[in-house]
């Protein structure tokens, strides 16, 4: 797993995913993604099917932004302007407090 970048949660509770990383993971505009909190990390992956009950769903917008649902932010203790470190593997993105 490689550390890819550091992002900040904006005032609309979104983070931006670099275009290079979106290409690597196949996350084009409108792609449905699942976000699953596991201990101190959030696992983000592309999904076609309905996610599990313990997952949140979001979409990639035309600017490469992903909204982080309020329940997930609360669970992780993340607020506006908090730094989030992005780590990537072949098919998923891991988000962790910076």
Burial (Cβ within 10 Å: 0-12, 13-18, ≥19) of residue 23: exposed
pLDDT interval class at 1 (50, 70, 90): low
Q: How far apart are the C-alpha atoms of 11 and 21, rounded to whole Å?
A: 23
Position 25 scores a pLDDT of 86
The answer to whether the CB of 42 falls within 8 A of the CB of 35 is yes
Q: What is the pTM of this model?
A: 0.86
The token pair at 98 is 């910076």
Which domains are delineated in the chain?
Answer: 2-97 (3.40.1550.20)
Q: Residues 16-70: pLDDT tens digits? A: 998 888 888 889 999 999 999 999 999 999 887 776 678 899 999 999 999 999 9
pLDDT interval class at 94 (50, 70, 90): very high
The answer to whether the CB of 92 falls within 8 A of the CB of 14 is no
pLDDT interval class at 3 (50, 70, 90): low
List the Cα angle 84/86/90 in 5-degree steps: 160
Q: How far apart are the C-alpha atoms of 24 and 4, rounded to whole Å?
A: 12
């Amino acid at each position: 797993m490689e550390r890819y970048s550091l992002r900040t949660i904006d005032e609309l509770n979104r983070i931006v995913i670099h275009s290079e990383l979106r290409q690597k993971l196949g996350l084009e505009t409108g792609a449905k993604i699942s976000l699953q909190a596991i201990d101190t990390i959030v696992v983000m992956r592309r999904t076609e099917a309905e996610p599990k009950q313990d997952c949140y769903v979001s979409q990639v917008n035309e600017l490469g932004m992903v909204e982080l649902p309020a329940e997930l932010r609360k669970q992780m203790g993340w607020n506006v302007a908090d730094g989030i470190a992005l780590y990537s593997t072949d098919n998923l993105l891991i988000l962790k407090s910076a």
